[in-house]
Amino acid sequence: QVQLVESGGGLVQAGGSLRLSCAASGLTFSNYAMGWFRQAPEKEREFVATIRWSDSDTYYADSVRGRFTISRDNGKNTVYLQMNTLKPEDTAVYYCAARTSVAVSTRKDQYRHWGQGTQVTVSS
């Protein structure tokens, strides 16, 4: 059974940083592209970042490019999202997702497995 468990969320002031982690189990991690999505209250879940299995290909939403960095450690079955220069509009529940393909995608319907999410709140 595939499990994705996010951690690292919390409350931070604008301009601060957080590092999210997502530990995966029940899958051959290196065979999956991984993604981060987020969902703010009363908004649809939106793409944040994605990374190819080999860590050589990453893609970001325009709203986070230059501030967020996605990375992965295939030896630890973990994907990370380093978030810097956080803004109040980054406030959301952040979800980790796994795609049954090595290629990246920005579409949430392309991801088969999802974590439960971790709350990130950025105060102004």
pLDDT digits (tens, 9 = 90+) for 30-59: 788 999 999 999 999 999 999 997 767 899
Q: Specify the pLDDT at position 55.
A: 67
Residue 86 confidence (pLDDT) above 80: yes
Q: CA torsion 25→114→8→51, rounded to 10°?
A: 80
Q: Read off the pLDDT band of 94 (50, 70, 90).
A: very high
Q: Specify the pLDDT at position 88.
A: 97
Q: Read off the pLDDT band of 10 (50, 70, 90).
A: very high
Q: Specify the pLDDT at position 54.
A: 75
